[in-house]
Amino acid sequence: MAFLRLVRFERVRDELLRGNESTTVTAAAMRWGFSHLGRFAAEYRARFKESPSETLRRARGALFLE
């Protein structure tokens, strides 16, 4: 189960890193089975050292630089 949870977090992160202006943290988290967004965000930050919204913001910034 821990491995599956890790995979789901990786998939959300991948989705956020490829995000565009229509991508939302909520939609990505829900798509990968995270229904409690507060717990999701706290664990995401612990795993990746940034909030999910920071990941998405960084990805969107990279889009504008291209």
Q: What is the pTM of this model?
A: 0.88
Each residue's pLDDT tens digit, 25-37: 999 999 999 999 9
pLDDT of residue 65: 52
* pLDDT digit string (tens) for the chain, length 66 residues: 999 999 999 999 999 999 888 999 999 999 999 999 999 999 999 999 999 999 999 888 865 555
- Angle formed at CA 37 by CA 34 and CA 40, multiple of 5 degrees: 65
Residue 13: domain span:
2-65
Q: What is the CATH number of the domain that holds 46?
A: 1.10.10.60
In total, how many domains does the chain have? 1
The C-alpha atoms of residue 37 and residue 60 are separated, in whole angstroms, by 21
